[in-house]
Chain A
Amino acid sequence: MTAVEKFEWQQICERQDLVPGSGVCALVEGEQVALFYLPEEERAVYALANRDPIGNANVMSRGIIGDLGGKLVVASPLYKQHFELASGNCVEDESVCLEVYKVRLDGDHVLIGRG
């Protein structure tokens, strides 16, 4: 397979739409994307799929953020499994994970990378 690395950065919302230390959800071309904002961290925004693959509902943006063993995670509000913000991997269940989106701040704009 040839993976062509071609990204387009698309503006989704403004920094002020994000909630420090917590998550919100954005709609990106029909997909629900959970945006987490950690102004204190070296990397301040993360974007993951909003769908909880275990509870099967679109709720990940409403989970609590924290760290486990030094890795930043979000806990599903339904059944409390943890997903790593950087990789989307589920800590408790190797067989599921969340899709990870490329995301960055450009001044006050929040941009998502579309591949």
Chain B
Amino acid sequence: MEQRKIVVVGNGMVGHHFVQTLVESGSGDAITILGEEPRPAYDRVHLSDVFAGRAPEELAMATRGTYQQWGVDAHFGDPVVTIERNAKVVVTELGRRFSYDKLVLATGSYPFVPPVPGSDHKRCLTYRTIDDLGAIKSRSKDSTVGVVVGGGLLGLECANALQNLGLQTHVVEFAPGLMGVQLDDGGSRMLRRKVEALGVQVHTGKNTRHIVPGDEHALRMDFADESSLETDLIVFSAGIRPRDNLARDAELVVGERGGIVIDYKCKTTDTDIFAIGECALFGGRIYGLVAPGYRMAEAVAAQLAGDDVQFQGADMSTKLKLLGVDVGSIGDAHGRTEGSMSFVFSDEREEYYKRLVTSADGKQLLGAVLVGDCTSYDTLLQYHLNGIELPADPQGLIVPASGEQPTLGVAALPATAMVCSCHNVTKGDILCAIDGGCCSAGEVKGVTRASSGCGGCSAMLKNLVDDELLARGVSVDKSICEHFPHTRQELYHLAQVGEVKSFDAMIADHGQGRGCDICKPAVGSIMASLWNEHVLDARHVPLQDTNDTFMANMQKDGTYSVVPRVAGGEITPDKLIVLGEVAKKYDLYTKITGGQRVDLFGARLDQLPDIWRLLVDAGFETGHAYGKALRTVKSCVGSSWCRYGVQDSVAMAIAVEGRYKGLRAPHKFKSAVSGCTRECAEAQSKDFGIIATENGWNLYVCGNGGMKPRHADLFATDLDDQTLIKYIDRFLMFYIRTADRLQRTSVWMDNLEGGIEYLREVVIEDSLGIAAELEAQMAHVVGTYACEWKETLQDPQKLKRFRQFVNSDEADSGVVFVREREQVRPARPDERLRLVAVTK
């Protein structure tokens, strides 16, 4: 029998997916695919990534080679212009003729440009193809302002692209709100608020009358309400129209507002012609998303391979990040179903809006709108798609609960639950893959293709796989990362016993690969605790987080903060003046910290050495605000001034801070000393706290403020100065030896078997016989202390790192400040746009 001839018109996402599915089904047909664009199919969904720096070639879904390999005849850059239905032949623009047994139309859609006079100007563009993207990019070069016409999903994506190109961006929408299709009024309002805060100006309810040359910019848009807007370029993104002209000319039935009418088999009114993707009209609707198109493609491929598979319509729920704002829409977002109930939660301070639409009995989730926070999207979608009964208080799913948030654990999902809707992968498919030997989300992804489409399901996939592996008793790996099969504690011992002094030796002896941002700083910190060498010694440099490397704390805009040590919070007027003078000279934002000292913000990398030279000359030392090390020892004024004080808490705080400054640990640690039981220094919230008594000092350990406050435990009472210090030495060194990476003393204590009793045995009674060793180690670190900044300033080699550019003295143009309350602060995105546009 002669091979059946299948011809596909349109090499877009859906046409390509159809060919791939048919090839994989092994039907043995002779396949031809004819595309108008000059290149094989590419990932249109991620087109905007190119504006964020991705190369267009990386979007490719296939190459010419792919088709050759599959034995598929593929032609590019030559559109089909006629279908001769009687002869069963299609003809291309270049006059090539291809005969078919079955024809598949996958011609997609085109951006709708409203018939506004002037919209044919060369600065009016559209956004659908790689070529469009090139045009927008090159037009943007001599533009400062850009307008997107259309406030729907694609319009906002396009606005994001224009912003990425550095244009002052406006969105003009005819309707009263943004994303009216997917969002209800409340969601749409919140989205607008957030989008505007990002510097995009939104104009709704605007009907463009005409576009004419502008005065200050190339174009002026005049609106029906007499207002107008000047801009340098306009991108139309006001909806899509199906490309149905071929079918129309061939007298196939098309919808009133366009679209090739298909039945549940994706057949057109000619039984040998199918239509799939965005050119097809099913049940009166065009599906403007890729997943439904894929379902159609699969249905047709299955039929051609002899299976009776139907297209059943598709879910249009979407989750996306537009301009950095999380937006989710599920099912009946507008609550149009008769008798439906809504639960709405809106938080204007945190800027999010959530709405649930349920059935009249409150048991089924019909729809949802999420703006600003999509964390519950996956859970809600599962309720919706699988008809899972809602909890008695469905509002708990969106209201931030004070207690446990009711989440739908992945374990509760039925096997039929759809996890990846791009590739039609159910929970059952994933379990199968694990049965088949997959041991990680990555491996499951490889086998099932789950999370290789839009990526929206990747968090859920990982959850499901981890959960399932755990349930199957696959042991959970406690290694700190893929490079060392050890915990931090084990690494510490290996380094100490083997006297390992560099990361390279460590990984050669005990690990594999080259290391990463988890294990490098961890080993760096262990090296520092053990051997206390300068953090900027050549062999330690690559190990440090940027804060340690530059001995300052990186701020959100890439500048740094400077925190000199002010031991115990005591400072002379002269030193205060120096801080003020330095801050003034370099125009640094100045603030008193929560740790009783002064923080100077907004220093550029290249300014750090000059700033520190002034500070060191005036007698300041580094405050280690950047290190996993001792931060501050707070004090109260104590017995010298306070009428209740019973000991000199300031002197003790200064002594303690002086002793442990620079000591590297698994995490930062803090202390405080109070002069009496009134506890004005809040010592019981510190990693170790000291409170004066009539007879000496009470020592508290393992307290914490911060994220999860923990009241410190009383460890020992009425200690004299020497015993106090001895216990603290042992306590800290024991913590450094045994804690996990980034484990504060509070968490360490909560995990310490035997708890405070055990700790007392080790520290006070020396039950492990290591007390002398711990003290000796501390003595070594204390004895080798040197101010890192002081050392650095004396070493030209080390100072070389503090240059913004190795080949230029220019400053980082990305750092832009504005003034507020008489000081500088980083410009917000909207301000930055204005400021940069002015200086251009």
A-to-B contact residues, CB < 8 Å:
1, 12-13, 17-22, 24-27, 32, 35, 49, 51, 53, 55-59, 62-70, 72-73, 75, 77-78, 80, 82, 87-89, 94-100
With beta carbons under 8 angstroms apart, the residue of A1, A65, A77 that contacts B546 is A77
Contact B520 A53 (CB under 8 A): no
Residues of B within 8 A of A21 (CB): 541-542
Q: Which of B263-271, B616-624, B799-807 contacts A (4 or more CB under 8 A)?
A: B799-807
With beta carbons under 8 angstroms apart, the residue of B515, B806, B814 that contacts A58 is B814
Q: Check A32/B516 contact, CB under 8 A, given A88-B53, A99-B53.
A: no
CA distance A22 to B556 in the complex (A): 21
**B404: Cβ under 8 A from any A Cβ:** no
Q: Check A64/B521 contact, CB under 8 A, given A25-B804, A96-B53, A98-B53.
A: yes
Residues of A within 8 A of B48 (CB): 95
CB nearest neighbor in B for A60: B558
Can you identify 25 A-B contacts, CB atoms within 8 angstroms? A1-B134, A13-B807, A17-B807, A19-B801, A27-B807, A27-B808, A53-B52, A58-B558, A59-B554, A64-B517, A64-B521, A64-B544, A66-B519, A66-B520, A67-B516, A68-B516, A77-B547, A78-B558, A94-B46, A94-B455, A95-B49, A95-B321, A96-B49, A96-B52, A98-B53
CA distance A73 to B520 in the complex (A): 13
Q: Check A80/B517 contact, CB under 8 A, given A26-B807, A62-B546.
A: yes
**B810: Cβ under 8 A from any A Cβ:** yes
In addition to A77-B554, A99-B53, 10 A-B residue pairs with Cβ atoms within 8 Å of each other are A24-B806, A25-B805, A26-B808, A27-B810, A53-B52, A64-B545, A66-B514, A80-B517, A94-B455, A95-B49
CB distance from B483 to the nearest CB of A (A): 8
Contact B52 A19 (CB under 8 A): no
**B351: Cβ under 8 A from any A Cβ:** no
CA distance A57 to B815 in the complex (A): 8
CA distance A108 to B48 in the complex (A): 39
Contact B812 A69 (CB under 8 A): no
CB distance from B158 to the nearest CB of A (A): 15
Interface centre among A49, A80, A97 (most CB of B within 10 A): A97
CA distance A24 to B546 in the complex (A): 12
With beta carbons under 8 angstroms apart, the residue of B482, B541, B558, B812 that contacts A68 is B482
CA distance A20 to B513 in the complex (A): 17
CA distance A104 to B483 in the complex (A): 28
With beta carbons under 8 angstroms apart, the residue of A25, A73, A88, A97 that contacts B516 is A73
Contact B549 A62 (CB under 8 A): yes
**B38: Cβ under 8 A from any A Cβ:** yes
CB nearest neighbor in A for B524: A64
**B274: Cβ under 8 A from any A Cβ:** no
Residues of B within 8 A of A53 (CB): 52-53
Contact B542 A65 (CB under 8 A): yes
CB distance from B119 to the nearest CB of A (A): 25
Within 8 A of A (CB), among B23-55: 38, 46, 48-49, 52-55
With beta carbons under 8 angstroms apart, the residue of A22, A63, A87 that contacts B541 is A22
CB distance from A14 to the nearest CB of B (A): 8
Contact A26 B806 (CB under 8 A): yes
CA distance A75 to B543 in the complex (A): 12
Contact A51 B545 (CB under 8 A): no
CB nearest neighbor in B for A48: B53
With beta carbons under 8 angstroms apart, the residue of A22, A32, A99 that contacts B542 is A22
CA distance A35 to B807 in the complex (A): 12
Residues of A within 8 A of B58 (CB): 87, 89, 97
Residues of A within 8 A of B514 (CB): 65-67, 72
**B697: Cβ under 8 A from any A Cβ:** no
Contact A1 B807 (CB under 8 A): no
CB distance from B40 to the nearest CB of A (A): 14
**B100: Cβ under 8 A from any A Cβ:** no
CB distance from A43 to the nearest CB of B (A): 13
CB distance from A52 to the nearest CB of B (A): 8
Contact with A along B514-556 (1 / 0, CB 8 A): 1111011100000000000000001001111111011000101
Contact with A along B107-136 (1 / 0, CB 8 A): 000000000000000000000001100100
Residues of A within 8 A of B803 (CB): 24
CB nearest neighbor in A for B451: A94
Q: Check A13/B542 contact, CB under 8 A, given A58-B812, A68-B516, A69-B482.
A: no
CB distance from A82 to the nearest CB of B (A): 8
Contact A27 B805 (CB under 8 A): yes
Contact A78 B556 (CB under 8 A): yes
Contact B538 A66 (CB under 8 A): no
Contact B808 A66 (CB under 8 A): no
Contact B545 A77 (CB under 8 A): yes
CA distance A69 to B812 in the complex (A): 33
Contact B513 A70 (CB under 8 A): yes
Residues of A within 8 A of B800 (CB): 17
With beta carbons under 8 angstroms apart, the residue of B131, B543, B545 that contacts A1 is B131
**B557: Cβ under 8 A from any A Cβ:** yes
CB distance from A99 to the nearest CB of B (A): 5
Residues of A within 8 A of B520 (CB): 64, 66
Q: Check A57/B556 contact, CB under 8 A, given A19-B541, A68-B482, A95-B321.
A: yes
With beta carbons under 8 angstroms apart, the residue of B52, B545, B806, B812 that contacts A13 is B806
Residues of A within 8 A of B482 (CB): 68-69
Contact with A along B586-626 (1 / 0, CB 8 A): 00000000000000000000000000000000000000000
CA distance A84 to B520 in the complex (A): 17
With beta carbons under 8 angstroms apart, the residue of A12, A32, A49 that contacts B812 is A32
Residues of A within 8 A of B815 (CB): 58
Contact with A along B780-817 (1 / 0, CB 8 A): 00000000000000000000110111111010101100
CB distance from A112 to the nearest CB of B (A): 10
A-B residue pairs, 4 tightest by C-beta: A21-B542, A66-B516, A75-B517, A57-B558
Residues of A within 8 A of B547 (CB): 77
Q: Check A62/B554 contact, CB under 8 A, given A53-B53, A57-B814.
A: yes
CA distance A77 to B544 in the complex (A): 10
Interface centre among A55, A89, A95, A98 (most CB of B within 10 A): A95
